[in-house]
Amino acid sequence: MGILFGRDYREILDDFSLALQGIERFYEAFDMTDEEWSELGESEQKACVRTLADDLIYGLGTEPSLSVADSMVRHDAKRHLIRIDQGDAVTRIIHLM
């Protein structure tokens, strides 16, 4: 299936990476503890978050939603966006077009 996007992919990754950092304990997706995450340097953390964003975009091409910590990441193909939902609230939106 895949995800359609009209924006520069690097910009989408930048926005998505920033949004993912707003999820409390997002680094648990890497099976990392608070301590392990904080031991990484800034460039290593940035690379990890960017990799997570890229992996999630790839995963959302085949699955309509994926879990990250206590949040759900969803692809809305009709509106060409990715939503990050925490409970009943939409916390972030990443526009793909």
Give one word for 35, left, alpha or beta, with left for phi > 0 and alpha for psi -120 to 50. alpha
3-state DSSP call for residue 21?
coil
Q: What does each of the 97 residues of the chain score in pLDDT, given as a tens digit?
A: 578 888 999 999 999 999 999 998 999 998 999 999 999 999 999 999 999 999 999 999 999 999 999 899 999 999 999 999 988 777 899 999 9
